[in-house]
Amino acid sequence: MFNEELKFDRPLRWGMIGGGRGSQIGYIHRSSALRDGLFQLSAGAFDIKPEACKSFGVNLGVDSDRCYSDYKVMFEEESKREDGIEVVSIATPNKFHFIMTKTALEAGLHVICEKPLCFTVEEAEILKEIAEKNDLVIGVTYGYTGHQMVHQAKKMIENGDIGDVRIVNMQFAHGWHSEEVEKNDPGLKWRVTPEASGPTYVLGDIGTHALYLAEVMVPNLEIDKLMCSRQSFIASRAPLEDNATVLLKFTNGAVGNLWASAVNAGGIHEQRIRIVGSKASISWWDEHPNQLVYEVQGKPKQLLDRGHGYLYNDDSAVSGDRIGCGHAEGLFESWSNLYQRYAIAIDAKIKGDKERFENTWFPDINAGLEGVRFIENCVRSSDNESSWVKYK
Ligand code: NAD
C-alpha cells in the first residue's frame, strides 16, 4: 500500500507548457504531479495567449514573473535562476510536441510529454538520441498504464496463467465525435487538422493508448506486420480518420486487432483489452478499471478485484494501492502512479543512481517511439490500399 512516505530532499522544480485554462488534460497533469509532493509547480507557459497564461498561472499559485508568454522565454529565463525548473511537462496540441521536447532537452530539462510524442519515427529517434546524450528522462503520459490491475494482468500473463498468448484484442472506441462536434470548438478542431494533429486522428489520439496497454501487459510481443483500414465518416475530417481497424501479426505467431474510433455511437470510452491465451483469457476495461475478468476455458468466469490478497502483491511496477479494496481507484490514481514513477526516474538521474533508474518502470522514450512507429505503419498500409506492411 502506498504510504505517503516517499520523499526526496526537495520536490522537483516543475514547469508546464500548455494545459491552460479550460484545456482537457492540464488539470490531470497538475493533480497527478502535485499529489504526492514530489513535484512543485514553479513556472509555466500555460497558454497560447500570454495574458491567459499569466492570470491562470497566478491563480494556480505560480509567481507572476514565472508565467511566461512563450516556452522558449521560459527555458531561457529559468536557466538563469538558481531555483530554475529542472523538468517540464508538455500538454499542448500535438504539432508542438517534437520541437518543444527537443528544445527542452537541449536546455538540459527532463521532459514529460503527451502522446503522440511526435509525428515521425525519425523525430522520435532524434529525441531519444538527445535525451541519451544529455542523460535526461523522457516520460510519455499513457495514463491508464499506471493502474495496478494492468500490472496484475501483466504479472498473470508472465506467470503463465493464461498459457501461451495467441490473440491480442485492443480497442479504444468512443462515440463522442459521431457528429461534427469540432465545428465550433477549437480544442477539438485541431485534432482533425493534419498540421496540428499529425498524420492521423484516432490512431494517434487513442489507438496508441490501447496499443501501449498491450505492450505493458505482454512486453515480449513484437509486431511483424500490420494492415490498416481507416475512414472519415465525417467527411470534413478527411484525410484524417475518425475510425480505424488494424490487424497485426506478431513475430511469435500471435495475432492482434485494434479498433480505434471516435464514431462508435453510444460508446462512452470503451478502452478495452483482451489477451487470449492457450488456456485462458484476461480482459480489462477502463470504465471498470478495478476489475480484471479472468476466464479459464471450461471453468466459471472470475472477477478479480483491486486490493485483494489473492492478487500478485510483489509487483514493483507501481507504487501500489492508495486505499484498500472496496473503494474505486481510477484514472487519477493511475496518473499519480505514473507521475510518481517519472519523479523517481528523474531523481535517480539527478543523483546519478543508475541502478535505481534502471529498476524504475515508466512509459519512456521507447513507449513514445513505438507509438509513433505504429502510426507511421498504419498510414503506410492504409495509403497503400490496406496492404500488409512489414513493421520494421
Ligand atoms: P486542448 O486544446 O484542450 O488544450 C491545449 C492547451 O495548450 C491550451 O491551454 C492551449 O492554450 C495550450 N497551448 C496551445 N499552444 C500552445 C503553445 N504554443 N504554448 C503554450 N501553450 C499552448 O488540448 P488537450 O485536449 O488538453 O490536449 C493536449 C495534449 O494532450 C494533446 O497532445 C493530446 O493528444 C493530449 N491528451 C492526452 C490525453 C491522455 O490521456 N494522455 C488525454 C487528452 C489529451
Per the structure, the count of domains in the chain is: 2
Among 298, 321, 299, 301, residue whose Cα is nearest residue 311: 321
Length of the chain: 392
Whether 159 and 139 share a structural domain: no
Q: Which residues pair with 274 in a beta bridge?
A: 169, 283
Is residue 3 assigned to a domain?
no
pLDDT of residue 318: 60
Whether 135 and 238 share a structural domain: no
For 232-361, where are the E strands, in sequence order? 243-250, 255-261, 271-277, 280-285, 291-296, 302-305
Report the distance separating Cα 211 and Cα 272, nearest Å: 10
Distance between Cα 16 and ligand 1 center (Å): 11
Among 8, 333, 345, residue whose Cα is nearest residue 146: 333
H-helix segments, 17-96: 26-35, 50-60, 71-79
Among 60, 59, 52, 5, residue whose Cα is nearest residue 30: 60
Distance between Cα 183 and ligand 1 center (Å): 18
Q: What is the dihedral of CA 185, 189, 190, 191, to 10 degrees?
A: 110
Report the distance separating Cα 201 and Cα 262, nearest Å: 9
On the question of a cis peptide bond just before residue 194, with omega within 30 degrees of 0, the verdict is no
Whether 296 and 345 share a structural domain: no
Whether 152 and 258 share a structural domain: yes
pLDDT averaged per 10 residues in sequence order, the chain, 392 residues: 81 98 97 96 97 97 97 98 98 98 98 98 98 98 95 96 98 98 92 97 98 97 98 98 98 98 97 98 97 98 93 66 89 95 96 96 98 98 98 96
Whether 111 and 228 share a structural domain: no
Is residue 333 assigned to a domain?
no
Atom of ligand 1 nearest to the CA of 142: 41
Q: What is the SS3 assignment for 92?
A: coil
Phi/psi at 271 (5° precision):
-90, 110
Q: Ligand 1 — pocket residues by CB below 6 A?
A: 17-20, 23-25, 45, 47-48, 71, 91-94, 96, 114-115, 141, 143, 187, 205
All 3 cell numbers of residue 250? 506478431
Distance between Cα 25 and ligand 1 center (Å): 6
Is residue 38 assigned to a domain?
yes
pLDDT of residue 347: 97
Whether 215 and 297 share a structural domain: yes
CB 264, CB 257: distance < 8 Å: no
pLDDT of residue 317: 53
Distance between Cα 70 and ligand 1 center (Å): 15
- Residue 303 belongs to domain spanning: 147-323+370-382
Mutation test residue for ligand 1: of 21, 24, 54, the one with most atoms within 8 Å of CB: 24
pLDDT of residue 171: 98
Whether 288 and 352 share a structural domain: no
Whether 166 and 282 share a structural domain: yes
Distance between Cα 33 and ligand 1 center (Å): 16
First to last CA, the chain: 40
Phi/psi at 195 (5° precision):
-60, -35
Q: Which residues pair with 112 in a beta bridge?
A: 89, 139
Whether 236 and 165 share a structural domain: yes
Is residue 37 assigned to a domain?
yes
Can you give the CATH number for the domain in which 358 is found?
3.40.50.720
Q: How far is CA 377 from the centre of its chain?
A: 19
Report the distance separating Cα 194 and Cα 86, nearest Å: 32
Asked whether the whole model's pTM tops 0.85, one would answer yes
